[in-house]
Structure 1
């Protein structure tokens, strides 16, 4: 999936390049927020 995005990005126009870049930024944001939430949940005191 990521390989296809990179391949398409290499052959795309300017707006396509920007769009694929934004997709990667969005995916990184989702993963980062997920990791932060999991760490917060694990550090909470469960009684």
Structure 2
């Protein structure tokens, strides 16, 4: 039972990270100014 819980948490976190990365790539670098450093994203701030 505990193995199912741990497995579910790992899968959930992995899916969350992948989805978040895809959303950031689709939106582009301009929306990265708030939560990324300027060196990582093309930010004109």
In the alignment, structure 2 segments of 5+ residues that lack a partner are 30-45
Query: Post-superposition shift, 1:25?
Result: 0.0
* TM-score normalized with structure 2 length: 0.61
Q: Which runs of 4+ in 1 moved over 2 A?
A: none
RMSD: 1.3
* TM-score normalized with structure 1 length: 0.58
Provide the aligned length of Structure 1 versus Structure 2. 29
In the alignment, structure 1 segments of 5+ residues that lack a partner are 1-14
Question: CA offsets, 1:4-28, max 9 Å, x none?
Answer: xxxxxxxxxxx00110000000000
Larger C-alpha radius of gyration, 1 or 2? 1
